[in-house]
Amino acid sequence: MKVIGLIGGMSWESSVEYYRFINEEVKRELGGLHSAKCLLYSVDFEEIERYQSKGDWKKAGEVLGDVALSLEKGGADFVVICTNTMHKVVDDIQSKIKIPLLHIADTTAAKIKEQGIRSVGLLGTKYTMEQDFYKSRLESSGINVIVPNDEEREIVNKIIYDELCLGVVQQASRDYYKKVIQGLIESGAEGIILGCTEIGLLIKPEDSNFPIFDTTYIHAREAVNMSLNK
Q: Which of 82, 83, 85, 165 is catalytic?
A: 83
Q: Which of 82, 196, 197, 216 is catalytic?
A: 196
The CA distance from 24 to 46, in Å, is 29
Name residue 146's beta-bridge partners.
Answer: 121
3-state secondary structure of 122: strand
pLDDT, tens digit, for every residue of 141-198?
999 999 999 999 999 999 999 999 999 999 999 999 999 999 999 999 999 999 999 9
- Cis check: omega of the bond before 136, within 30 degrees of 0: no
Please tell me the pTM assigned to this model. Answer: 0.94
Work out the mean pLDDT of the chain and round it to a whole number. 97
38 flagged as catalytic:
no
Name residue 14's beta-bridge partners.
Answer: none
The CA distance from 220 to 39, in Å, is 14
196 flagged as catalytic:
yes
Q: Among residues of the chain, what percentage have pLDDT more than 90?
A: 98
